[in-house]
Structure 1
Amino acid sequence: MHRRLNRRVAITGMGIRAPGSLGKDAFWELLSAGQTATRRITFFDPSPYRSQVAAEVDFDAQAEGLSPREIRRMDRATQFAVVCAREAMADSGLGESVAAHRVGVSLGSAVAAATSLEREYLVLSDSGKRWTMSPDQLSPQMYDYMVPSVMPAEVAWVVGAEGPVAMVSDGCTSGLDSVGHGVALIREGSADVVVAGAADTPITPIVVASFDAIKATTTYNDVPSEASRPFDGTRNGFVLAEGAAMFVLEELTAAQRRGAHIYAEVGGFATRCNAYHMTGLKTDGREMAEAIRVALDMARLNADAVDYVNAHGSGTKQNDRHETAAFKRSLGEHAYRTPVSSIKSMVGHSLGAIGSVEIAASLLAMENQAVPPTANLHSADPECDLDYVPVHAREHRVDTVLTVGSGFGGFQSAMVLTRAAA
């Protein structure tokens, strides 16, 4: 009786924890001011590492309302997800009007409980000194840390979801893909409401060392606030970050009937893989361009309908050139007339979470009719010759946003967000 194919999907609730901000208002204030949240790593001594800066979240689990038992049980990323899910549900005003079996969860993460796993390994191995480890020293929460599906399960318990619950882990596109999966569940009739988004807390020694090894992160350690430089000719890698954003997705007509505040309609979503290289990207941007084309087709929009592009903009040379080519390939001449920006210049790259954090930024750009800037963009790369909104935010009509993601393994995703008709 519930099933109706190709239903339209609205976003009616949002919860976010990002570097330099707690909540959507503080997040937009930071972005619109062009402020950067990057600093020298404080979670551990970063001096042995090549890249020593990151964008950390000033998160106090107890102040966020988590109980001591929840804090001990949940990894930091799970705590982020749960807090954001609660906030998103409250923001949506949905209450308990939807049957629990019609509510789902779709959560994205790239490295899941990396924070707790590394901490427990150090305890068990006496900081790596012992090869033989005693199970007597094993944390009773280790199962929760080892199994990524625990993260969406915790969110499901908090929001009372008894419908489809899933974990999406596609590296750096996880935060887009998890929301895309949630949209698909509603469109196909498997759920009426989905709490969707992503969380990652990867600022740990092992993750920092991993990116050091492939020279993917920046070495601009002296002035952390200027370290993330997407599309700038002097960029030399991304800034690692943590964060989370969760959303309430629901069928559009149901949201309209109950008078919900609708941030946007998810017009289209698509993902592709380049089947090429674990970290390398083809210079023509063909796979990302194809994802953009399909997302626009799903939204029944032409390229010239796009008012703003929220770029992946990681600050690596190959990524910035790759997606510049993808925008030109998919949007044609309109690419040169469309403002593009990267919020990673301000809040860093939170791996699997960043796609959801960027959806939040896109929704707030629509709410405020302004484009957030690309901070630290002072010396343009000639190969990145689009309008990247340097340094300062710009008032601009924003009714349709294209937000994209690119991840190791060749994942390329695109989502089209449109202002819902009154």
Structure 2
Amino acid sequence: MVTGIGVIAPGGIGTKQFWELLCEGRTATRTISLFDASEFRSRVAAECDFDPGASGLSQREIRRWDRTTQFAVVAAKEALEDSGVLGEMDPYRTGVMVGTACGMTQSLDREYAIVSDNGKKWHVDEAHGSPYLYDYFAPSSMAAELAWLAEAQGPVGVISTGCTSGIDVLGHAADLIIDGAADVMISGASDAAISPITVACFDAIRATTPRNDDPATASRPFDRTRNGFALGEGSAILVLEEYQHARRRGARVYAEIAGHATRANAFSMTGLRPDGRELAEAITVALDRAEANPADVGYVNAHGSSTKQNDLHETMAYKRSLGEHAYRTPISSIKSMIGHSLGAICALEVAASVLAIEHAVIPPTANLHERDPECDLDYVPLAAREQASDVVLSVASGFGGFQSAIVLTTPDWTAR
């Protein structure tokens, strides 16, 4: 059961601002300001206007933690406060699982520049490195910080499966509760990878958009004119509870994680098979685990990366897994508004899916003006739609061939 939500996202800090941006169909993509990106092919991204001091972090914490960890800690604090579970957890029955694709990219990028004198020295001088350099190198440090925050002494770990990390980690955390290993899990994902090395990597494979002259409309999932994704950053952390644990303390329950699945295509690091078979298989298995039929799905929160091959692959996967119901199902991509924050985006999309259930609103796909005739499903263009959904499907597709799906339902849907 999801009983708490915390969000750091482009366009607003906190769950309330995140949801308002999505419902209004506003975009947060802009010219990169975190570093000088003038020499790169793609110079747009969705950045978080994040002030760590204003978000309650001390100067020591700001110095010690990478931006990725800062996001995760602030989001976790909001989620824990939202859930009201603090003080009602058994430390040995409380765990943390966090996902990330890139870990502490910004700090590693910065520290390498320092110890190598901006790349001039092959033999780096460790004397000039930060005393927290090891923490930047090991993403498990982020999970440890969240465990200390919540005094969690149960299962604690990290999942890093690229762009599917956010779904995979939440599914794993839910399984730990189902298996009886924990009563409460603080789980989600965080990435703050808008840095020279990241931009260079995606430039090299031409995955990001070169639409630098109009950043606000650069991300165009399912649109005929799409030409790559806009990088993003952010974090979403959820509090998950075992049903009876939440019920005993009278917790508000947003939604239930009813099923999830992941598959790999064993085909290509960056390529996708056009038939969408692996993603369709993940969707089918996730629905089976949720004991739901394709016709039960009221909304799909798409991966919708705004690349030519992904959006076609995804469209085929929906037709393959949902059958004729795919043509009647509202689908949208929030990457059109907050960019693609790599491992964090799936957790943000799950948070958006939970809020879609809570508020009976489907967020839109921004910038969808010219429909791709091959992406011929209901991709909810431009404006949010009021519609109740008892069953919501969220999916992800990641480099390496990873394909993941997660099913969320209203709290009482499974019992019905």
- TM-score in terms of structure 2 length: 0.98
Q: Distance in 1 between matches of 2:111 and 2:47?
A: 21
Q: Contact 1:252/1:265 (CA < 8 Å) preserved in 2?
A: no
Could you tell me how far 1:215 is from its partner in structure 2?
Answer: 0.1
Provide, for residues 118-160 of structure 1, a one-character-per-residue CA deviation record: whole Å limited to 9, x for no partner. 0001111111122222221121101101111111011101111
Quote the Cα distance in structure 1 between the aligned partners of 2:174 and 2:126.
42
2:8 to 17, 22, 25: 17
Once the two structures are superposed, the pairs formed by residues 24-43 of structure 1 within 5 Å of their partners are 24-43=15-34
Q: 1:230 aligns with which of 217, 221, 246?
A: 221
Match of 2:273 in 1: 282
Residue 116 of structure 2, aligned match among 116, 125, 139: 125
Instruction: Tell me, in whole angstroms, the C-alpha distance in 1 between the residues paired with 2:319 and 2:126.
Output: 56
Q: For residue 141 of structure 1, what is the aligned residue in structure 2? A: 132
Determine the C-alpha separation between the residues in 2 that align with 1:228 and 1:109.
22
Unaligned stretches of 5+ residues in structure 2:
none
Check if 1:115 corresponds to 2:109.
Answer: no
Note if contact 2:86-2:150 (Cα within 8 Å) is conserved in structure 1: no
Q: Counterparts of 2:43 and 2:173 in 1: how far apart (Å)?
A: 36
SS in 2 for 1:150: helix
Which ranges of structure 1 fall in alignment gaps of 5 or more residues?
1-9
The residue aligned with 1:193 is 184
Q: 1:78-101 CA distances to partner (integer Å, 9 max, x unpaired)?
A: 110111111101100112222101
> Which residue matches 1:210?
201
SS in 1 for 2:366: coil
Would you identify which runs of 4 or more consecutive aligned residues in structure 1 move more than 4 Å? Answer: none
Shift of 1:316: 0.3
- What is residue 63 of structure 2 aligned with on the other side? 72
Q: CA deviation at 1:70?
A: 1.1
1:82 is aligned to 2:73: yes
Alignment length, in residue pairs? 413
**Alpha-carbon offset, residue 257 of structure 1:** 2.5
Q: Which residue of 1 aligns with 2:341?
A: 350
Q: Secondary structure at the match of 1:334?
A: helix
Letter in 2 for 1:236: N
Match of 1:281, SS? coil
Query: What letter matches 1:178 in structure 2?
Result: V
Determine helix, strand or coil for the equivalent of 1:364: helix
Query: Matches of 1:175 and 1:119 in 2, distance apart?
Result: 26
Letter in 2 for 1:353: A
Aligned residue for 1:12, secondary structure, equals strand
Q: After superposition, what is the alpha-carbon deviation per residue over 1:254-285, rounded to whole angstroms, capped at 9, x for unaligned?
A: 21222111110111011111111000000111
Q: What RMSD in Å do the two structures reach over aligned CA positions?
A: 0.8
For 1:413 and 1:135, the matched residues in 2 are separated by 40
- Distance in 2 separating the partners of 1:416 and 1:371: 16
Partner of 2:382: 391
Does residue 1:373 correspond to 2:364, yes or no?
yes
Q: Which residue of 2 aligns with 1:239?
A: 230
Match of 1:6 in 2: none
1:106 aligns with 2:97: yes
Return the letter of the residue paired with 1:292. I
Amino acid in the other structure paired with 2:26: Q
Structure 1 counterpart of 2:376, one-letter code? D
AA paired with 2:341? Answer: S
- Partners of 2:395 and 2:259 lie apart in 1 by 12
